[in-house]
Structure formats: structure tokens, C-alpha cells
Amino acid sequence: ASSEATFDTTIKRRKTRPVRVGNVTIGGSFPVVVQSMINEDTLDIDGSVAGIRRLHEIGCEIVRVTVPSMAHAKALAEIKQKLIKIYQDVPIVADVHHNGMKIALEVAKHIEKVRINPGLYVFEKPNANRSEFTKTEFDEIGEKVRETLEPLVVSLRDQGKSMRIGVNHGSLAERMLFTYGDTPEGMVESALEFIRICESLDFHNLVISMKASRVPVMVAAYRLMAKRMDELGMDYPLHLGVTEAGDGEYGRIKSTAGIATLLADGIGDTIRVSLTEAPEKEIPVCYSILQALGLRKTMVEYVACPSCGRTLFNLEEVLHKVREATKHLTGLDIAVMGCIVNGPGEMADADYGYVGKTPGYISLYRGREEIKKVPEDKGVEELINLIKADDRWVEP
Ligand code: SF4
């Protein structure tokens, strides 16, 4: 029997209401949903269908498209039909980039979710001083925002569809900017105003985002939003993302720093990693973040030591070989360790271990139990045999 104390390290997610987006649900007890966005022009029907399909096939669960004009909105109807005909239905969210309600209302007919940016609901201020808003002016504009938004809210509500209120730090409406500042507070107030409009119309299929390109701003804004919603008894799910994260290694690290920090706090129900690269490149990053945090397990978890002077084989090469041979499996933890000097516990209780034993030989472990010692050149083959013997192998 183990005398080790147990400590629950599972992330406790903030309680949110489930919001359906077609056949996918965001929030509630559902896994954190992975999203991305196609680069194709929505007027390019075949290109868009192919782009959506490509993303969906590699694990993107909700696909976003952009709708800058009425022609784009109408094209969505064709995209949807074609997608269902040649592939399958995929939940689609459309960005409506302005307060042109006609476009939004057309879009709402064809897809499952509409994303609006409160910062684009800007109305002329009655007096010339644009850097100050009296309470009356603030409220009068608020009333115009409500009137503009109402038909879309009613349409989505009546169709059982959903809306993302997507606040961006870089595009706050000026009355929010001048009243609350270019701050997380301004972002939160901006979202709350739209939430209240939706609630007054009995529409609750809402997902909220508070994106910024600077990680500390983004983290602060989401934390404040979650806190305010909890205080106000609002349980809307949050969509996490760092905008304009860039590309390459730093783009991935920056996105992860923001998204993972919040997820570790239990905040966040759907994520998008925004890279200046092909959208397909975003999906593995999303799944890696979720796997590293133990929120979703979609691939083999590899535990490998960094190697040191004691390492008994070429760790980098062997890890690569083990990964190539086993990466199609799911739900397994496999450890590759240069030696066993610090004991099997160092393997983080992996299901299987590949461990340097003596020069030219490695040991295979099942959990903490050493199963057999084999020559190094037979290591990967024998590891596969062991997994097969346990009936946990599937052919690639
Ligand atoms: Fe070095 Fe062994 Fe630790 Fe790997 S497991 S870093 S080889 S001591």
C-alpha cells in the first residue's frame, strides 16, 4: 500500500452554462472547445468549404468565417449546403464587423453563431467634445446600441442560436474608452452592457471574449470579467485568445502564456490560438495546451528527462523514434528516461517506461514495475510488443 498523501491537482473549472453551437457545446461540463478561423474569402465558396473541412478534419470543432458584406452573408448559405453535401455539418461562427444589422440578420439565418464586437457599435456624439461623455450622453448612446442590437438578439434567440460578445482591447467604443479608460475595466463594462441588453430580451446563449495582444492585459481582463460575472450571478462561458500573437515559437509561447494561465485558474471554455501562419497550425497548439493542463487528453503524453552526463543512449534520437512509433495511440503516458538513477517515480507514473539500464541495454517498465531488459537496438520494437501484449496497441 502506498503511504503517499493524495492531493487533487485537477483544474476546477469555473461553473458556466452550456451554450450550444450547432452540434458542439461550449461551457457546462463539456470539454474546452477548440476553434480556429479560415483564411479564405467567404465569397470563394469552394475554397471556404475546403478550408472549413481541412480545419475540422484535424480537430477544429467550431470554424469561424468573416462576413464583411451582404454578398458574403449570402455566400454562407451556399457554403453550409455544400459542406453538408460533400462532407458533414460543421458548426460555424461568423464575424460581423460592423453594426450593419441587415448583414448580421442574413448571417444569422445560415450559421450557428454570430460574433459581434461591441467596439464597433459607435454612434455620433451630440456635442463636439469627443473625449468626455456626460451620463445622459452615455445612456442615450447606450439606448441606440440597444435598438441596433435588438433585432439580431431576437433572431438568434428565436432560432436557438448563439452569440459571442467579442470585446477587443484595441477597439473599444470611444464612450467606453473615455469613461473607463483603455483598461480591463473598460473592456468588462463594454461586455456587460451587451450582456444586459441580451438578458433584457431573455437571450442567454452567450459566449464572451476579452482579447488583447498583450498577455498581461488579456489575463487581467478575463480575470476581471470572470470575477464580475460571478458577482453578478452571470455564468456565461468564456472564449480565450491572445490576438496578434505573431508566428513561430514566440507566437505559440505568447498564446500559451495567456491561455494556459487562465485555464489553470479554471477560466475558459473554448480557445483559439491566433497565429500568423496557416490556421491548421493552430490546432495542435490548442490541443497541446489542453493536454498539458490535463483538461483534454487527445494524444500520447511523453515524459522524457532532459538528459545529462549519466544518459546511457541518445535520448533525442530515441524519443523521436518512440514518438514516431506510438504517436497514433491515445490515452497513454510513455516515459523515456536516460537512466533510472532517481527511481521509477521520476517517470511520473507513466504507463510505460523506456529507461537506460547499462551501456547498450535498456529496461522496459509497465508503470513502476520493471518488465524486461533488452538490447538498445531492440528497444522500440520490444516497447511496442509490450503495449501489444497489454492489448493497448492499435495499428497506425
Ligand atoms: Fe540524467 Fe538519468 Fe536524470 Fe536523465 S534520468 S537527466 S539521464 S539523471
Residue 2: the pLDDT is 46
Measured from the Cα of 338, ligand 1's closest atom is: 7
- Look at the block and give the residue holding cell 478575463: 222
Q: How far is the CA of 12 from the centre of ligand 1 (A)?
A: 33
The count of residues in the chain is 396
Task: pLDDT band for 1, please (50, 70, 90 cuts).
Answer: very low
Tell how far the Cα of 363 is from the centroid of ligand 1, in angstroms: 14
Q: Using pLDDT thresholds of 50, 70 and 90, give the confidence band for residue 171.
A: confident
Q: Spell out where 274-348 has E strands.
A: 301-304, 333-337
Q: Which CATH number fits domain 301-389: 3.30.300.30, 3.40.190.10, 3.40.50.970, 3.30.413.10?
A: 3.30.413.10
* Centroid of ligand 1 to alpha carbon of 298 (angstroms): 27
Task: Establish whether residue 339 lines the binding site of ligand 1, counting it when its CB lies within 6 angstroms of any ligand atom.
Answer: yes
User: C-alpha cell of 9?
Assistant: 491537482
Q: What angle in degrees, to the nearest 10, is found between the helix axes of 248-264 and 282-292?
A: 40
> Can you give the residue ranges of every domain in the chain?
19-292, 301-389
Mean pLDDT over all residues of the chain?
92
CATH architecture of 19-292: Alpha-Beta Barrel (3.20)
In this prediction, residues 228-257 reach a mean pLDDT of: 94
CA angle at 10 for the pair 7 and 16, rounded to the nearest 5°:
140
Question: Is-contact 165 209, C-beta < 8 A?
Answer: yes
User: How far does CA 344 lie from the centroid of its chain?
Assistant: 34
Separation of 292 CA from ligand 1 center, angstroms?
Answer: 22
DSSP assignments along 112-145, one per residue: SEEEE-GGG-----SSS-TT---HHHHHHHHHHH
47-51: long-range contacts, CB 8 A cutoff, minimum separation 24: 48/75, 48/79, 49/79, 49/82, 49/83, 49/86, 49/87, 51/279
Pick the residue whose CA is nearest to atom 6 on ligand 1.
307
Q: Is the pLDDT of residue 382 over 60?
A: yes
- pLDDT at position 129 is 61
- How do residues 40-73 score in pLDDT, each as one tens digit? 999 999 999 999 999 999 999 999 999 999 999 9
DSSP structural state of residue 332: -
**Cross-strand partners of 33:** 270
Pocket probe mutation, ligand 1, options 303, 305, 347, max atoms within 8 Å of Cβ = 305
- Atom in ligand 1 nearest the alpha carbon of residue 312: 7
**Mean pLDDT, range 290-319, rounded to an integer:** 91
Question: From the CB of 311, is ligand 1 less than 6 Å away?
Answer: yes
Q: Check if 341 has its Cβ closer than 6 Å to any atom of ligand 1.
A: yes
Q: What is the ipTM of this complex?
A: 0.98
Amino acid at 367: G
Instruction: Summarize pLDDT for 97-148 with one digit per residue, the tens.
Output: 765 688 999 999 999 999 999 888 877 665 556 667 788 888 888 888 899 8
Is the distance from the beta carbon of residue 309 to the nearest atom of ligand 1 less than 6 Å? Answer: no
Structural contact between residues 279 and 38, judged by C-beta atoms closer than 8 angstroms:
yes
C-alpha cell of residue 220: 487581467
pTM reported for the whole predicted model? 0.91
pLDDT digits (tens, 9 = 90+) for 192-234: 999 999 999 999 999 999 999 899 999 999 999 999 999 999 9
